[in-house]
């Protein structure tokens, strides 16, 4: 649980940081720093964007969030740090978790040079709502 990871770390728990942690706790929307800032700023109007960014960096350092670079327009954050994969809708930018494990065949020239300890598979596509909108607008 994200809140537990923060409590056992050496992170100072300011009210703003706790609001960021609470926003992320169980959040499956894979928000960007901007999304988090907009949501938490409603409660803390004087909070700076730097507070969100610094908190995300601190959470990454204690394995509290995983930074996703699947969206080329902005970094997104996932409080689920267990091994899993993602699919991104190329139309609306929605990201969905995929919990299926994938066994990848590592080429011999790589396995001779590396002990591979993990992987992250990213899929790209168009989600059903976007596909329906596209079909409706073309007809």
pLDDT per position as a tens digit, 27-76: 999 999 999 999 999 999 999 999 999 999 999 988 999 999 988 889 99
Structural contact between residues 59 and 33, judged by C-beta atoms closer than 8 angstroms: no
So what's the pLDDT on residue 137? 78
Query: Measured between alpha carbons, how far is 5 from 8 in angstroms, rounded to an integer?
Result: 5
2-77 fold: Arc Repressor Mutant, subunit A (1.10.10)
Angstrom distance (rounded) from CA 56 to CA 68: 12
Mean pLDDT of 120-139: 88
Confidence category of residue 139, pLDDT binned at 50, 70, 90: low
How far apart (Å, rounded) are the C-alpha atoms in residues 40 and 51?
A: 11
Between 10 and 21, the more confident residue is 21
Q: Which of 42, 37, 45 is nearest to 20 (CA)?
A: 37
Report the chain's mean pLDDT, rounded to a whole number.
90
Please provide the DSSP assignment of 64-115 as one string: S-EEE--STTS-EEES--SS-EEEEETTT--EEEE---------HHHHTT--
pLDDT at 73: 87
Fold designation for 83-137: Dna Ligase; domain 1 (3.30.1490)
Domains of the chain: which residue ranges? 2-77, 83-137
b (16+ CB within 10 A) / e for 54-79? ebbebbeeeebbbebebbeeeebbbb
Containing 40, the helix (H) or strand (E) segment is: helix 33-41
Residue 109 has pLDDT above 80, yes or no: yes
- The pLDDT > 70 percentage for the chain reads 99
């Amino acid at each position: 649980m994200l809140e537990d990871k923060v409590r056992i770390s050496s992170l100072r728990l300011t009210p703003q940081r706790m609001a960021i942690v609470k926003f992320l706790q169980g959040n499956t929307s894979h928000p960007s720093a901007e999304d988090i800032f907009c949501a938490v700023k409603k409660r803390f109007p004087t909070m700076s964007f730097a507070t969100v960014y610094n908190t995300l960096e601190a959470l990454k350092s204690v394995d509290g969030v995983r930074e996703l670079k699947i969206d080329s327009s902005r970094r997104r954050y996932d409080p689920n740090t267990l091994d899993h994969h993602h699919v991104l809708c190329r139309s609306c930018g929605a990201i969905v978790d995929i919990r299926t494990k994938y066994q990848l065949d590592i080429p011999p020239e790589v396995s001779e040079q590396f002990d591979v300890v993990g992987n992250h598979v990213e899929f790209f596509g168009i989600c059903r709502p976007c596909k329906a909108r596209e079909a409706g607008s073309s007809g």
